[in-house]
A and B are shown apart, each in its own frame.
Chain A
Amino acid sequence: MTTAIKVENVSKAYQIGQIGTGTISRDIERWFLTKVLKKEDPFLKLGETNDRTTRSGTNVVWSLKDINFDIEQGDAVGIIGRNGAGKSTLLKLLSRVTAPTTGSIKIKGRVASLLEVGTGFHPELTGLENIYLNGSILGMRKREIDRKLEEIVDFSGVERYIDTPVKRYSSGMSVRLAFAVAAHLESEILIVDEVLAVGDAEFQKKCLGKMEDVGKREGRTILFVSHNMSAVQELCKKGVQIHNGEIVFRGDMMECISHYYHYDRSVRLSTVPNGQPVILDPPKINGSSTPTLLSGERMTVEVNLETEEIDNPWIFCIVENALGQSVVHASVHSEELGQRTLSGSYKISIELPALWLAPGFYSVYSKAIVRSPKRSARVHSDRVGLHVVGQIDATGKTLLTPHVQWNLENQKVRTRIREATNL
């Protein structure tokens, strides 16, 4: 196996807040310090973590900090992480939209990146003209597009409108057209940001299928960023988790996803309207904080709640699938549990029947809503990843895979066929 992408000590600094006034004087100051006095650039003090929830003295953030990794040729790698973790920045650097502040990236092969579908689409041009324009922007030669034109139009499914200006298209249609162009790029490396979120489910599946083809059959290297865990899991064998600009996990995609779900579950303190703190721990499932469940297994969710004093909180237990659809949304008022006012530490347990969830990744969390006469406040626990396994592989096809009983009975008399043939 050869290395297709080698990322060495890559960091990227961004200036946040207002850019504008005073930049000339600061630029001159910087230039003077670094070039004349040969001092270290005060603008680039390495070391601060990029945590979007805390404020910091400087207005420079390190969106990526000292990133190192290699990607082998033919690998499909999923990059996951929370919003603002630095995933998109990494893709931007790899696709040369912006340059790293330090470090180097070495790439073997032609890179096609899809940070957005339909970049450069011009509303006044027809679908056909836009195929050529968009294809060229993505780096295709004209004859390459000529050769694939039929395939592209076919894949997009908007053949009827191909000579209509794109401004008359529905948004779904232009996404289809745009993805069709992108899917036919010939490149050794394909970089895809979460761009599929726009199409309908059927088209999303078609795109994922196309990308899978690209990776598996043609042996292309794929880098894929998504929040859709089942898509990532289906498409990628290897995973990278980024957190606050640093790589915190690399390895098998499955392990990466479960690492992601369990990452950084530090106690979160929230306050409710009257200033009362409430702590809601991430739930445990069947006593485990890294649960794996058989599809037909029953589960018990346990949540620890600690508070000074709250009145009749509304408590929820929510299970979501990898697409973020909620499959269980159970709620109760503490009054119904025989205790209107909660004060102290409680263990709340929720018993769920056998759900026959389709195998895949789910996340479980709990939530409490506290109402005071003036306003209400909600407290969320962190999520726990739930891996459901089963014999039926139905990923993406159905939500439930219940165990069913099939019966076949011979009724001996073929009256209906006889009637039909006698007519």
Chain B
Amino acid sequence: MEDAGKINEEWDLVIEGRTSLFDPKLGEVWRYRDLLLMFVKRDFVAFYKQTILGPVWFFLQPLFTTIIFTFIFGNLAGLSTDGLPQPLFYLAGVTAWNYFSECLTKTSTVFKDNANIFGKVYFPRLIMPLSIVTSNLVRFGVQMLLFVAMMIYYAATGGQFRITSAVLLFPVLILLMALLGLGLGLIITAMTTKYRDLSFLVTFGVQLLMYMTTVIYPLSSAPDRYRYWLELNPMTAIIETFRLGFLGQGTVTPWSLGYSTIAALLILVAGVVIFNRTERTFVDTV
């Protein structure tokens, strides 16, 4: 049976102090795919066991967030929603943003949360963050149902929105959000094994980042001098494209989406490299 790591003709596995910088061991990850699914299953079963509402909780969080946003930003602050029905506008932003932020925050504590398992048994460590991204994808899918239901409701009651061809980019958007969340999470979790401070930063950093992304306001309403900064955030183009596809309103160019793609890939590569370097000995420092 072959094992990744370094393979030469004689040995199945060579363990050494140092390895090459970029070696994501994808073959090995693939061999452990059953484990990935097992972790996803565990996350779900453990989530709704001994709860009354069970999976309904997946709906409640985005629903209440939308209600609060509609009340505060829509009614009190009177922020523009590009002419879209307010709840629909916020729910679109919240659903997409939640996927990214859940991927990021959960991945960023992978080493700390799993120190016990990682300290006792070997499996490709990347499995753990990948399973997080996958579990969140299922969650995201469930929340999309809520969004679609809301769309149907507004379509029936004559709400002003339309689906455009940009909706075809939906799978790409999911992938980009997953890669961004995963990449950033990997960088942070690797650093937190040594510098715990970062984990404090994550919780409120993600919140602040949401306000720097066009979740509660459209990019079109941002003043020109801030617009550049908002577009520097790779999540902005993703959320804008998401709204353009499903609701017909969004300020996005091929360039801005291309920029997000490149940023996501770079962050992911950096994340995997740093994660792999840390993975080998983090047990000693955590």
Interfacial residues, chain A to chain B (CB-CB below 8 A): 6, 14-15, 19-20, 23-24, 27, 92-111, 113, 115-116, 119-120, 122, 124-125, 129, 132-133, 136-142, 165
Contact = CB atoms under 8 A, between A and B. Distances in A.
Contact of A116 (B1, B15, B49, B120): B120
Contact of B16 (A24, A99, A129, A133): A99
B120 A99 contact: no
B50 interface: yes
A99 B122 CA distance: 11
B263 to A, nearest CB: 26
B194 interface: yes
Interface stretch (B6-14, B103-111, B160-168, B265-273): B6-14
Nearest to A63: B284
Identify the interface centre among B12, B119, B123, B195: most chain A CB within 10 Å of its CB. Answer: B12
Given A23-B194, A137-B117, A103 B122 contact: no
Contact of A139 (B123, B283, B284): B123
Contact of B42 (A93, A96, A105, A122): A122
Contact of B280 (A14, A98, A119, A133): A98
Contacts, number: 115
Contact of A109 (B1, B17, B50, B280): B1
Contacts of A106: 10-11, 13-15
B17 A101 contact: yes
B15 A100 contact: yes
Contacts of B119: 97
A23 B284 CA distance: 14
A110 B3 contact: yes
A103 B34 CA distance: 32
A298 to B, nearest CB: 48
B31 to A, nearest CB: 8
A137 B123 contact: yes
Contacts of A111: 3, 13
Contacts of B123: 137, 139
Interface of B: 1, 3, 10-17, 32, 34-35, 37-39, 41-42, 45-46, 49-50, 116-123, 194-196, 280-281, 283-285
Contacts of A109: 1, 12
Nearest to A145: B34
B38 A132 contact: yes
20 contacts: A19-B194, A27-B194, A92-B283, A94-B15, A96-B122, A100-B17, A103-B16, A103-B17, A110-B12, A119-B121, A124-B45, A129-B42, A129-B45, A132-B38, A133-B38, A136-B32, A136-B35, A137-B121, A140-B34, A141-B34
Nearest to A123: B46
A69 B188 CA distance: 39
A99 B45 contact: no
Nearest to B193: A19
Contact of A108 (B10, B17, B38): B10
A125 B35 contact: no
B245 to A, nearest CB: 36
Contacts of A101: 17
Identify the interface centre among B34, B194, B280: most chain A CB within 10 Å of its CB. Answer: B34
Contacts of B121: 95, 97, 113, 115-116, 119-120, 137-138
A212 B45 CA distance: 37
Given A108-B10, A137-B117, 8 more contacts: A106-B11, A107-B11, A107-B15, A108-B12, A109-B12, A113-B121, A137-B35, A137-B123
Identify the interface centre among A24, A99, A111, A116: most chain B CB within 10 Å of its CB. Answer: A99
A140 B117 CA distance: 16
Given A95-B121, A99-B280, A107 B12 contact: yes
In the A-B complex, the 3 residue pairs with the closest CB atoms: A96-B122, A99-B280, A136-B35
B66 to A, nearest CB: 30
Given A122-B46, A137-B123, A139-B123, A108 B117 contact: no
Contacts of B196: 20
A124 B15 contact: no
Nearest to A104: B16
A125 B42 contact: yes
B38 A125 contact: no
A103 B42 CA distance: 38
Contacts of A94: 15
A319 B34 CA distance: 51
Contact of A104 (B14, B38, B122): B14
Nearest to A188: B1
A355 to B, nearest CB: 41
A104 B116 CA distance: 25
